[in-house]
Amino acid sequence: MEDWPSGYSESAANARQSLPPEVWDMIVFHLRKHRGALIACCLTCRAWLPTSRHYLLRHVRLTKKSSYNRFVEALDYAPELPAWVDKLTIKRNRRLSTRPFDISPVLLRLSGISHLHLDVAEHVTVSPLLNTVYPSLSTIILNVGTYRGHDIARLFSLCPRLVSLRLVSVYGDHDDPPSTVDSTQPGITNSSDTCIKDLVLLITSSSIVYHLLHSPIRFELQSLEIDGHLFASTPCPRILWDSQSVLRSLVLRHSTWRERSDLNAVQETIGSLRLSALRSLSFEPVATPWLSTADHIVDFLNVINTDCIDDIRLALCTPAHNTPYDFSHVDQTLASFARPALRITIIIEFDGYTISGRHDLASSILSGYPQLRARGSRVQVVVTDKFGRFPKETFHS
């Protein structure tokens, strides 16, 4: 019999050797949220290495320049690491350098990722040599940052399974205006398999939108969230024309401080479509006066097909402090579209400064919307506060 270490019984050694791998995998699974423990597991036993790496590297988050540089060095040292990475998030919220931030060293190696999230407050570049196809990449989120439209179009065209795309506060390069776009430029692959089904375009520059709309990507959107003024500054009928028979959810973010022509452009564009599959319609204002919001919603509902809509969501801001809360206009408007199966949610952002004012608003809500109640619609009113001073309240009429 072998000489076992002091305090180590033969039965314990046999138990370790006889335990099936599934048991060890379950132990590592319970440590999946403890990064330090997973690193220790990687160094403890060769049999634990695959499972430990799976949980340690499946979602890589890089929030500092030093961590980004160390990760690139690790990829150079261990070429097998990219096979374990499924999701990549890079966040650099502060602009630390005037030099462009090149993400190509990571993208060239991680061709198997399925989720890419870039939140980089810098000028981001993609090397023209990047021609790697990403067969599993289905979700791309670009939040903040400056990009060249041609780089973005090339990256998207290399993702045949891309279905979800979110662009928020994405700005174009000053040297890359829409007038210089040429869809035949080398590097853009005509990937007909790329078909976007979920799209968010918020506070995105016109040059970026132009490159996106003139890329080979197809749009069969089931969900769309978009700035209302985008229809006036950069008309995008292609997105809606290609998706009018499958679009199920539409979110319009609008602000009535914009020119009335912008609002008319939204109504004219969408009013010419038959959104036969639309089930959910939301209006999300940024900062909108009370009555003008209702007028805009009335005009919009008058030009679209509301027969198939099951859910309407309105976001309103309360009027000036001394203005009475009059819901009759909104009630009368929505009642003309109401039916028993329709669910209406009204989000009211309370802008008052006193608790008594909030109580007055709650009283007005409980006594409001008589016509909607008479039509049998399910009405839910949510009062919230952008400063978090009051808890969210829900009223069912």
Other Cβ atoms less than 10 A from the Cβ of 326: the count is 14
| Burial (CB count within 10 angstroms: exposed 0-12, middle 13-18, buried 19+), residue 64 | exposed
Q: How far apart are CA 51 and CA 46, in angstroms?
A: 10
Residue with tokens 């028979």: 245
Task: Judge contact between 361 and 396, C-beta under 8 A.
Answer: no
Check residue 185 and give its pLDDT: 47
- Count of all residues that appear for the chain in the document: 397
Asked whether residue 82 falls in the same domain as residue 177, the answer is: yes
Q: Letter for the amino acid at 182?
A: D
Asked whether residue 154 falls in the same domain as residue 197, the answer is: yes
Residue 291: what are its φ and ψ, rounded to 5°? Answer: -70, -35
Asked whether residue 212 falls in the same domain as residue 179, the answer is: yes
**Structural domain that includes position 148:** 58-216
Asked whether residue 35 falls in the same domain as residue 131, the answer is: no
**42 in any annotated domain:** yes
**234 in any annotated domain:** no
User: In b/e form, how buried is each residue of 258-268, taking b as 16+ CB within 10 angstroms?
Assistant: eeeebbebbbe
**303 in any annotated domain:** no
Q: How far apart are CA 209 and CA 221, in angstroms?
A: 16
Residue 341: what are its φ and ψ, rounded to 5°? Answer: -85, -5
**369 in any annotated domain:** no
* Token pair belonging to 161: 């399974």
What is the tally of structural domains in the chain?
2
- Measured CA to CA in angstroms, residue 104 lies from 72, 85, 100, 130 at distances of 10, 16, 12, 7
Asked whether residue 124 falls in the same domain as residue 178, the answer is: yes
Residue 180 carries which DSSP code?
G
Asked whether residue 122 falls in the same domain as residue 158, the answer is: yes
Please identify, among 38, 57, 76, the residue that sits at the C-terminal boundary of a domain: 57
**330 in any annotated domain:** no
Asked whether residue 124 falls in the same domain as residue 139, the answer is: yes
Check residue 130 and give its pLDDT: 66
Asked whether residue 196 falls in the same domain as residue 106, the answer is: yes
**163 in any annotated domain:** yes
Return all residues near 145 (Cβ < 8 A) that are at least 6 apart: 118, 119, 120, 121, 122, 123, 124, 169, 170, 171
- Pick from 42, 144, 48: which is nearest to 101 by CA? 144
Asked whether residue 101 falls in the same domain as residue 210, the answer is: yes
Asked whether residue 68 falls in the same domain as residue 185, the answer is: yes
**188 in any annotated domain:** yes
pLDDT tens track of the chain, all 397 residues? 444 455 545 554 555 556 788 888 888 888 888 888 888 888 888 888 888 888 888 999 998 888 888 898 888 888 888 999 999 999 876 655 667 788 888 888 898 999 999 988 778 877 765 677 899 999 999 998 888 888 888 888 888 899 999 999 888 876 555 544 444 444 444 445 788 999 998 888 888 888 888 888 888 999 998 887 666 555 566 777 778 888 899 888 765 545 455 556 666 666 667 778 888 888 876 544 545 555 666 667 776 766 788 888 877 776 555 556 667 777 777 777 777 777 888 777 776 556 666 667 777 776 777 887 777 777 777 777 665 555 566 666 5
- Pick from 268, 280, 284, 197: which is nearest to 236 by CA? 268
Q: How far apart are CA 354 and CA 235, in angstroms?
A: 43
Query: Considering the entire predicted model, what is its pTM?
Result: 0.80
> How wide is the angle at C-alpha 359 spanned by C-alphas 353 and 365, nearest 5°?
115
Asked whether residue 95 falls in the same domain as residue 23, the answer is: no
Please identify, among 160, 193, 216, the residue that sits at the C-terminal boundary of a domain: 216
Contacts 24+ apart (CB under 8 A), 383-386: 383/348, 383/350, 383/358, 384/347, 384/348, 384/349, 384/350, 385/349, 385/350, 386/349, 386/351
Q: Which residues pair with 344 in a beta bridge?
A: 312, 379
Please identify, among 160, 183, 216, the residue that sits at the C-terminal boundary of a domain: 216
Element (H, E) at 145: strand 139-147
What is the CATH classification number for the domain harbouring 131?
A: 3.80.10
- Pick from 47, 54, 50, 49: which is nearest to 17 by CA? 47
User: What single string gives the DSSP state of each residue in 130-141?
Assistant: -----TT--EEE
Check residue 271 and give its pLDDT: 64
Asked whether residue 80 falls in the same domain as residue 19, the answer is: no
**284 in any annotated domain:** no
- Measured CA to CA in angstroms, residue 65 lies from 69, 98, 116, 130, 254 at distances of 6, 14, 17, 22, 36
